[in-house]
Each structure stands twice: as structure tokens, then as C-alpha cells.
Structure 1
Amino acid sequence: MHSFRPALLLMLCLATLAWTTPVRAETPVIPCKVLAAYPHNPGTFTQGLFFHDGVFYESSGGYGRSFLAMMDPASGHPLKTETVAPELFAEGIAPSGENLRMLTWKSGIGQVYTLKGLMPVHPFAYRATAATTEGWGLASDGKRFIMSTGKSRLEWHDAKTFDKTGELSVTDDGQPVHWLNELEFVGEWLYANIWKSDRVAIIDVTDGKVQAWLDLSPLRERLSRGCGVANGIAYDAAGKRLYVTGKNWDQLFEIEIPKLR
């Protein structure tokens, strides 16, 4: 009988540990709720999107076919279009004062444009000369830029010089979140499209942890066949409205802002 007591004691200890150890909750997944739908140019391979003074600004990618456009929200028609040099592949965009910055994919350079009229101002470098960092998504919190590179690491950049000032690793339950793409600040949170996915990561920029996932897959039933991956997040801070679209989507949606706190 004595030989069974250590085993019994071990079983009791393990059972007690199971009762007292809290179970880690999975990161919540929040289905999107559509509030309104608007026309969107299905010929736009959406790379970057933001809302400013009642107008959508959008970049479309592709070698030999990249462009930057100001779009009327109600009709989806372009108010102004600026073509991009054929050797450049347009990527993320974000406003800064009276201008905006646009990244390109692999070239290592971006372009500054005026918000009024989309007039080219000057190019800028987004990486060191010997680096191979790619430019993907871009967002601004009004004080600095944050840039995605297609990996799990985001980069902070100075608002005026675009010098790199820091990095932020994004994780979900301790695991790196790869393929971070289009970015947008929505209040205190950073939203990030995940390339080849219909999910958006809602990130706490103080520690890089994903607080929730926004599921855009319910939008598929409203879209035409041939629409690509979700990509494009815009926030109207004054009106507290959140918009999403995707590559070659024929609609742009206003969706309900998830409540995390």
C-alpha cells in the first residue's frame, strides 16, 4: 500500500494545480458589422487608404500602372489622379501636415505629395542605403509615422525627416504576427491588414500585442466575384467612422468600430 502513496500525492498536486492555474483566454475575434456601403473602383489594386477633409486618398499598386487618387466618398469617382513612374510600385500612404507620404515596394524610396492637388514635392528614402527593407503600409499618429515591411516588425519614423527612430514587434499570444500590411490609427489602437487574409489585427502600440482580431469575411457575400484580399483601412476621426475596402473591390464599407474597453 505504501508504494501507491507518492503516486496518489502527485495526482492530487496536479489536480490542485489545474484548479488554481487560470486558463489563458484566446484573442477575441470580432465579426464586422456593416453600417453603410459605397461604390469603389474595382480597377484599384488598393495599397493605402486614408480619409481627410471629406475625401478618400488611395494608392493603387503595380509596375507600370500605379497611381494616387483623391476619391469622392459618395460616388467612388476620382476627383484627382496622379500617375506614378512606371518603374515604381506604389504602396502605403499617410498624411502629414499639408502633404502626404507614399511608400513604394522595393525601391527604398517614397514620394511626398501635396494634399491639395496631389502635386509631387520631393522623394525621400525610407531605408538605409545597404538595407533591403520593403515599404508596405504606412500610418501616422500625428507625431510620427509607423511603417510595415511585410513582416512581424513595424518601424517608427520621424514625422519630418522620416529617419527611423525605433521598432515594434507585433505578437498574438506570444507568437509573431507576420504579413502586416496596410495600417491605420483608430483612436488609441493601430489597425493592420494581414496580407492574404480577411482579418485585421487591432494592436496596442505600447507593447505590440494584438488585442483583438476584426473579421472582414462577412463582407464577401456583398462583393462581386474576382475581388481580391482585404486591404485598406480609413478612419474619420472627427466623425468617428471606420471604413474598409480591398484590392479590386467594387465596394467600400463603413463598419462599426469594435469596442475593446
Structure 2
Amino acid sequence: MNKSLFSILSVLFLLISCRDDQKVLDILADYNRSMEQKGYRFGDRINLPEEITDNADKVTIGFGDKETSEMNIDPKFFEYGENKVTFSIKTKNGETLSQDATINVFSKNKEQDISYKIVAEYPHDPNNFLEGFLLEGNMVYESDGLKNSSQLIKYTLGSTTPIITEKQPDPIFSEGCAIAGDKIFQLTYQNKQGFIYDKTTLKKLSEFPLPNEIGEGWGLTFDGKNLVATDGSNKLYFLDVDNPSRVVHKVAVGGYNDIYTQLNELEYHDGFIYSNVWHQPYILKINPKTGEAVGKFDFKKITEENTKDDKEHVLNGIAFKGDNMLVTGKNWPKIYEVAIK
């Protein structure tokens, strides 16, 4: 074979190979797009099309510093919600093809619709842009946001007159708060810092930087061991109560058909974490060990009553009075006590 013919055949082979490789990548992209909306559940298998598997010696999925060749949705590698991954395909002709994808993982069980009955109503100061809401005994502790008006206040349930008010500096936008022992911990929205107060006097004891893993401070609660924070994603961040700048671990939250980003105000009660979702009229009941949303309260009626004049006056306050839940929101004039059925 002369050199000219050999060169032509080599080019043709290369063109055919490149075309086949692109076809494999196109098929993979189509498959991933079709599955992104449908999603997977733990235990499911990723069944790649035969056009891919028939042309591959090996397929792996990469997760940053981890990878697996097992095509199963395994919690060792995947979590609820969006999983940004990279497929690597070693083809039979020796090429290695790579493609980024998003694999959405949902829970196997539908959230239980939890029924309730409103059994009492209490006044709430409609000037308070509520971000954190706590009840201990008959005492309410409330973190109110917005720049130039953020504050931590303490008042008796049934009254709107503060017993103590601790105002934050003008640049601070206060967010969620939690009681742990004789201290109150408070997050800030985008100031990247948190505050610790004496629970009795509300005097500031110290400050701490928010962990780098938390982009913004949103909700906060205490589970008896760790502080638990949200940052507007679907993640629960468990923080060391003795060093709140350290993330002990994190858990992604997911539902049967929802990823539940923008988790906001939090409350821990009787082994579960309760969270509202920003701009949504419901509260989730979450298993903190797995991240599965196991139940949902629909507060659409009372939310609509309180947001008709301003859509930013959203549901955003959760506390417990015994086994009854207290619910309120930003600039709401009422606190609702509901008995869970």
C-alpha cells in the first residue's frame, strides 16, 4: 500500500471513529436529559442504552474525588437532590469519552399529608420581618431581619411588647436562631458571621465566622447535640455547638417528586426536623438521619391570608408548644397554634 492511500484510509478511519464517538456522546446526552426530569431512587439501576454499552469496555461515574463503575444509585455515592457527575466511557477502540450530567435522586415514599386543626391564635407584631422563631416555656425568642433593622427580641406568647430587644449593627441582616443550653445562636444572611447571646439577658457573648461550606445563613435549630443550619439549598448542615464554624456533617433533603431547595426556618422536635420552604405554603417533616421528607403540612389558606398584600410576607416561623405547632411568618399579625392530628 502506498503512503498516499495509507494516509487517506487513516483519515477516513479517524473520521468514522470520531463520528461514532460523537454518536455515543449524543445518545448519552439524550438519555441523561430524559432521566433528569424522571429522576432515580436509591436502589435503582442506571440502564444505559445498548448503543453505549455495546461500544464500551468500561463505564464509570465520577463525583469529584470519587468514582464508581457500579451503575446503581447507591447512597455511598449519591444523595437526595441534584448530583453533578461525570460519565467516563472507555470505548472498544481505545478512546476515552467524558460527559457531565445531573442525576436527580428522589425518595421512594411519598410524603404523608399531615392534617391539623387550628386551636388558638396569638398576636404577632406585623412590623417584624421574621427570620428565626423559638418558644421556651411561655417565652418567645425572635430573630428579625433586614439591614438597618435587624434585632433579636424576647417576649411573652400572647403579647407583642418586647421584654428585651438586642439590635444588630446596620449592615447586619439577621437570620435563623436556636437555643442551646443557656445560649442563643443566631445566623446572618450574607454577612458570613454568627452571634452567640446570653439567653436571659440577650447580651452578645461572642461572634463566629460561618463555615465556608455554608454560602448564606438561613435557618437554624438545635437537635440536642448539634446546631443544624440551612443555606437556601436542600442541605442540612450539622454544626459543632462548641465551635459553630465547623461542619460535623451534612445531609441532603429530598422528597418523592421534589428536591426541596431553599429550605429555610427550622425546628427540631421529637426526633424530626421541621422546615418551611421559602415562598412555599407548606412545612416539611424531615428524618434528619436520612434527609427523607416523610411528611408535609399544607398551610396554603393561612399563608394566602397573610401574603395578599405583599408576596414577601411568607410563611417562615415554626416552634412547638408541647406537641402543638406554632406557625407564623414575615410581618404576619398572628401566630397560629395547631394541633397535629
CA distance in 2, matches of 1:151, 1:25: 21
Aligned: 1:232 with 2:317: yes
Instruction: Report the aligned-residue RMSD.
Output: 1.8
CA distance in 2, matches of 1:173, 1:221: 25
Supply the AA of the counterpart residue of 1:234. Answer: A
CA distance in 2, matches of 1:186, 1:40: 22
The equivalences for 1:69-88 within 5 A come to 69-88=153-172
CA distance in 1, matches of 2:125, 2:145: 14
CA distance in 2, matches of 1:43, 1:171: 34
Supply the AA of the counterpart residue of 1:256. Answer: A
Partner residue, 1:21: none
Q: In the alignment, is the contact (CA less than 8 A) between 1:135 and 1:147 conserved in 2?
A: yes
Aligned: 1:245 with 2:245: no
The equivalences for 1:60-99 within 5 A come to 60-99=144-183
Q: CA deviation at 1:226?
A: 2.8
Structure 2 residue aligned with 1:179, among 262, 265, 269?
Answer: 262
The equivalences for 1:103-118 within 5 A come to 103-118=187-202
Q: CA deviation at 1:92?
A: 0.2
Specify whether residues 221 and 173 from structure 1 end up closer, same or farther in structure 2 by C-alpha distance, changes over 3 A only. Answer: closer
CA distance in 2, matches of 1:159, 1:77: 30
Q: How many percent of aligned residue pairs carry the same amino acid?
A: 29
Normalised to the residue count of structure 2, the TM-score between the two structures is 0.64
Specify whether residues 172 and 25 from structure 1 end up closer, same or farther in structure 2 by C-alpha distance, changes over 3 A only. Answer: closer
Q: In the alignment, is the contact (CA less than 8 A) between 2:323 and 2:339 conserved in 1?
A: no
Supply the AA of the counterpart residue of 2:121. Answer: A
Specify whether residues 109 and 34 from structure 1 end up closer, same or farther in structure 2 by C-alpha distance, changes over 3 A only. Answer: same
Partner residue, 1:12: none
Supply the AA of the counterpart residue of 2:234. Answer: S
CA distance in 2, matches of 1:161, 1:117: 22
Partner residue, 1:41: 125
Aligned: 1:135 with 2:217: yes
Specify whether residues 160 and 252 from structure 1 end up closer, same or farther in structure 2 by C-alpha distance, changes over 3 A only. Answer: same
Aligned: 1:210 with 2:293: yes
Q: In the alignment, is the contact (CA less than 8 A) between 1:31 and 1:218 conserved in 2?
A: no
Aligned: 1:199 with 2:282: yes
Structure 2 residue aligned with 1:126, among 167, 186, 210?
Answer: 210
CA distance in 2, matches of 1:100, 1:196: 26
Aligned: 1:147 with 2:229: yes
Partner residue, 1:13: none
Q: CA deviation at 1:225?
A: 4.6
CA distance in 2, matches of 1:146, 1:43: 27
Specify whether residues 145 and 25 from structure 1 end up closer, same or farther in structure 2 by C-alpha distance, changes over 3 A only. Answer: closer
Q: CA deviation at 1:206?
A: 1.3
Q: CA deviation at 1:125?
A: 1.4
Normalised to the residue count of structure 1, the TM-score between the two structures is 0.83
Give a deviation string over 1:122-168, Cα, whole Å, max 9, x none: 1011213xx56111000001111110010011111011111111010
Unaligned runs of 5+ in 2: 1-107
Specify whether residues 181 and 224 from structure 1 end up closer, same or farther in structure 2 by C-alpha distance, changes over 3 A only. Answer: closer
Q: CA deviation at 1:52?
A: 1.5
CA distance in 2, matches of 1:26, 1:174: 8
Q: In the alignment, is the contact (CA less than 8 A) between 1:59 and 1:68 conserved in 2?
A: yes
CA distance in 1, matches of 2:264, 2:109: 26
Partner residue, 1:17: none
Q: CA deviation at 1:25?
A: 6.1
Specify whether residues 69 and 253 from structure 1 end up closer, same or farther in structure 2 by C-alpha distance, changes over 3 A only. Answer: same
Specify whether residues 52 and 174 from structure 1 end up closer, same or farther in structure 2 by C-alpha distance, changes over 3 A only. Answer: same
Supply the AA of the counterpart residue of 1:138. Answer: L
Specify whether residues 256 and 107 from structure 1 end up closer, same or farther in structure 2 by C-alpha distance, changes over 3 A only. Answer: same
Q: In the alignment, is the contact (CA less than 8 A) between 1:32 and 1:218 conserved in 2?
A: no
Q: In the alignment, is the contact (CA less than 8 A) between 1:48 and 1:59 conserved in 2?
A: yes
Partner residue, 2:184: 100
Specify whether residues 204 and 66 from structure 1 end up closer, same or farther in structure 2 by C-alpha distance, changes over 3 A only. Answer: same
* Greater mean deviation of Cα atoms: 199-208 or 168-177: 168-177
Q: In the alignment, is the contact (CA less than 8 A) between 2:317 and 2:328 conserved in 1?
A: yes
Q: Report the number of matched residues.
A: 231
Q: CA deviation at 1:223?
A: 4.4
Query: Which structure would you say has the larger Rg?
Result: 2
Q: CA deviation at 1:27?
A: 2.2
